[in-house]
Each structure stands twice: as C-alpha cells, then as structure tokens.
Structure 1
Amino acid sequence: MKQTILLLFLFLSFTINAQGPLTKFGINMANKSFAIGYYEKEGRQVATIPMIHVNKPEFYKMTKQKIDSLRNDGYHVFYESIDTNVTDSLKLDLLMRKFRQVTGFALMDYMDSENETFKSLQKAKYVSQAEVDYGVNYKTDHHADLYLEQMIELFEKRFGEITLNDCDTTTPLGKKYKCSKVDESKEYYILNGIRDRHVLDEIEKSSAQKIVVVFGRIHVMDLHSKLQKLGWEHQREKTERINEFNK
C-alpha cells in the first residue's frame, strides 16, 4: 500500500532564492508574483503552476480554478508528491532519518503540531496544501515525482551510504535538526536536482499534447530554464496578484 508522507513540499532552506523564507513575509511576496508559465515544443504545450505549500485558503481556491480551467482545455495534470511504497515501519523510519540528515528537516506536514520548525505559521492561521482541495485529483492525475526510497537510492549511489549518528537516531523527527551541518549542494541535489530531472523526463516521454505541471515554486523557477534547454519555447506569462492575504 502506498503511503503519502507529505504532499508537495518545497525547497525548505531558510534562504530560498527569490521566494524568500517560508515566513508570512516570504509567502506574501511570492503571492504577489504568482504567474503561470507556458511553453511549446513541436506542437505540444506545457503550463507550469508554481505552488506555495503553506498559504491562506484563498490561494488554493485560485489554483483550483486555474487547474480546473486548464484541465477543461485538455491539459493533463502532472503533480508533485513525495510518496513511498515502503510499508515496514522500521525501514520507513530509517529512510526518513536519512532524508533529514541530508536536508535538515523531516518529511512532516507543515501544520503537524509536532513539527516545531513551522510553529509560527501554524499560529498565523495558514493551511497546508495537503489539507485542501487545490485542484489535483490523486486518483486520476499523473504522479510525476520520485518516491522517498528512490531519492535515497539515487543519493547514495552518488555520494555513498548515509550513516546516521546517535543524535540522528534518538532525536524525534519533529524536533529542530541540530545533529550535523547540512551540505547545501547535497540538499539541493536530493530536493531539486534529481526531482527536476525526473519530471522533465516524464514530460519528454509523455504522449500527452498538453501538460500542466503543478509543482513547488522553486521547482518551477528551475524548470523555466531547463525546459528551454530541451527546446521548449517560452510563450507567455501572466502575473496575477492575489488579494486578501493580510486580513
């Protein structure tokens, strides 16, 4: 049975490129620059919707409208989600702790009361993308992301086995991570590098004429240049400001 660890999480470094940190200020700044990107190659079309995985309900109401509209126009939805097929609880715990050592955070819902990293957002009445209907149908849409076990396997093939220390094994997953220093290049590799490569492969091999990629904002920013390197021409981009976030 497939277990969903955390739906649609983004690059959680506290120095997140142009998006800014995952704080109220950073989220509001990202909302102000929300835009759907459009690309074309050999008669095929790709649209990209940049998700922010913690936000106010108004944001997800809007994304649902956008995704529904594109779906009605014949677009196939490719969505982001780190899932796992591992059912053994001990093996899954090991994988999650290995992931945390590389990234510095655990695969937990942002709004989980045991997730200490995002207490301030929990108090600010934001909601997690995983808790609302934002337009993706997990039963019929296309899962275009890697599984946790695939991510760890690819990482260890490149960098060697991840060895946990005593702190890694004894610190609860929800606690702030202080067991070792995070290598930002390795963090980027596991969070963005291999996952971006995977969704690009999924797009290239798909027979769908129209695809809408519903991924985190940082992924979409990276995909902008990577799609063009693969011959996808950037067509147009419309920025839509989102109101009512400061109420």
Structure 2
Amino acid sequence: MKERLTLLLLLYFTLNFSQAFLVGLIADKNINKKKLVYTNEEGKYLIYLPTVHVGKKEYYDSIKKEVDSLRKEGFIVAYESIIFEINKDDFEINAKKARKIVGYNIANINDNNIQSLPKEYSTKNYLLQNNDRVGIVNTDYNVDMTLHNLIEKYELKYGAISLSQCDLQTPLSAKYLCKEKKKLPKYYFTDELRNSEALAKISLLQNKNIIFLYGKGHKFMLHSGFLNNGYELISGKL
C-alpha cells in the first residue's frame, strides 16, 4: 500500500510539473562548463559550444562573452541556422512541409512570433536564442542547410510530403493543430542531414581556429564526426 501511494504521488507530481520548472531543469545557466575543446594535428583549435535554444539572458550573455573574447583572439565563428530564403517561390510550401515533419513552425521565429511553438518556448523569463544574443554577425560562417535543400533531400529518401487542407490553410504564424494518423520521421530532417552538412563545412576550415555554436542535442554525432576529421577532445566532458 505504501509503495502504491508513493507511486501515485510521484505520478501526480510528474504530471503537474509546471512548464517553467521543466524548462529550468533542462536549460543551462552558463556555457563555460559545457564547452568542448578539440585540437587537430595542425595545432588548430575547435571550441564547440553546445547551445540550447531557450534560455535566460545570463545564459546567452555567457555565450556572447565567449564568442567576443575568442573572436578577438583570431577565432572564426561557425554556427547553425537553417537558411530559409523567404523570397523563393517554394518557401511557404517548404516551411509547411517542415512544420508537418517537426510538429511546429521553425521558419523565421522570433520573440514576437512564437504562437506556433511548444509552450516551453514562451516560458516567463526565458528567451529564444538568436544571433544578436550570442554574438553572431553577418560575416560569420553559417554551416547549416537551406530549407529548400533539406526538404529536397528528405523527399528523396521518404517520398513527397503530402500537405492536407489543414496544413495548407493554417498560417505559419498560427498554432499547429493538424493531426495525422502516422507521424513523419523527423531525425533525418532535424539531425542527420544537417549534422553531415555542418561536419563537411567544418572540415574545410580545419586550418583555422574555430568557435562552433551548435545545439547540444547534436553533440554525440558531431563529436564522432570531429574525431573522424582528425580532431582530439582535450577539454570538457560529453
């Protein structure tokens, strides 16, 4: 009976965690303890900052401080950010296809355009990551893919993405409520394609010192890729 009561209480508290508390558990406070430092045979450094996309101001300040400091030391800055090409004729259709894969709109999201995102993205006192907050400037190296190429390669593997009337009629800025009996696989879209692209582009910069900002959910695949490209981890823990 006691064990059953304990289990029920645990279930109750698990189901009733506030969004703010859950975000607080997974959000990092400072990037310094998370960074991974690699070096290669040429003696060049790759400093990987495994970022999260929702955090408090002080978290992003810690990233910007690191980026600004290393930039002054001659490091180049590489980062992830899907390239949306909003002026292309197929932008809206591709953005809606991406939304169907991921479950919410990912195109051109900012602090004033978060209605379509999961609730944790609008938790009080937490901010969305953007280039300004982490110190990225226009001349830095975006090692990500275009949305057009992502969708094109995804459909080559899984076939054409069919959009329902709900998909087509729901604006990108609105909450996404369209339901499907079978969800589309998303790892290939969110991780595999983009990680491979990033690693290929980073490999072309190995004669330079690099500070690399990329989501921490990708770090194990990236770590493996760094090792394959001749880097050795000399500081930090996965």
More strand by share: 1
TM-score by length of 1: 0.76
Q: Distance in 2 between matches of 1:121 and 1:86?
A: 23
Gaps of 5+ in 2: 1-18
Q: Which amino acid aligns with 2:36?
A: G
**Deviation at residue 79 of structure 1 after TM alignment:** 1.2
Q: Distance in 2 between matches of 1:209 and 1:229?
A: 17
TM-score by length of 2: 0.79
**Deviation at residue 81 of structure 1 after TM alignment:** 1.1
Q: Which amino acid aligns with 1:128?
A: L
Superposition pairs for residues 22-171 of structure 1, below 5 Å?
24-31=21-28, 34=31, 35-43=34-42, 44-88=44-88, 91-108=90-107, 109=109, 111-113=111-113, 115-119=115-119, 121-130=121-130, 132-137=132-137, 139-171=138-170
Q: Distance in 2 between matches of 1:59 and 1:116?
A: 24
**Deviation at residue 27 of structure 1 after TM alignment:** 4.4
Number of residues of Structure 1 aligned to a counterpart in Structure 2: 214
Q: Distance in 2 between matches of 1:69 and 1:238?
A: 22
* Percent identity of equivalent pairs: 28
Is the contact between residue 24 and residue 121 of structure 1 (CA under 8 Å) also seen in structure 2? no
Q: Which amino acid aligns with 1:36?
A: K
Q: Could you report, residue by residue, the CA deviation over 1:62-102 in whole angstroms, capped at 9, with x for unpaired residues?
A: 101111122122211001111223414x6211011111111
Is the contact between residue 111 and residue 118 of structure 1 (CA under 8 Å) also seen in structure 2? no
Which secondary structure state, in structure 2, belongs to the residue aligned with residue 107 of structure 1?
coil
Q: Distance in 2 between matches of 1:71 and 1:131?
A: 15
Structure 1 stretch displaced more, 156-165 or 195-204: 156-165
**Deviation at residue 113 of structure 1 after TM alignment:** 4.8
Q: Distance in 1 between matches of 2:74 and 2:22?
A: 36
Which has the higher Rg, Structure 1 or Structure 2? Answer: 2
**Deviation at residue 114 of structure 1 after TM alignment:** 5.2
Q: Distance in 2 between matches of 1:48 and 1:114?
A: 28
Structure 1 stretch displaced more, 205-214 or 139-148: 205-214
Q: Distance in 2 between matches of 1:225 and 1:177?
A: 37
**Deviation at residue 120 of structure 1 after TM alignment:** 5.2
The CA RMSD measured in Å over matched residues stands at 2.5
1:7 maps to none
Q: Distance in 2 between matches of 1:204 and 1:121?
A: 33
Q: Distance in 1 between matches of 2:24 and 2:136?
A: 21
Q: Distance in 1 between matches of 2:175 and 2:143?
A: 30
1:182 maps to 183
Q: Which amino acid aligns with 2:54?
A: V
Structure 1 stretch displaced more, 47-56 or 205-214: 205-214
Is the contact between residue 51 and residue 215 of structure 1 (CA under 8 Å) also seen in structure 2? yes
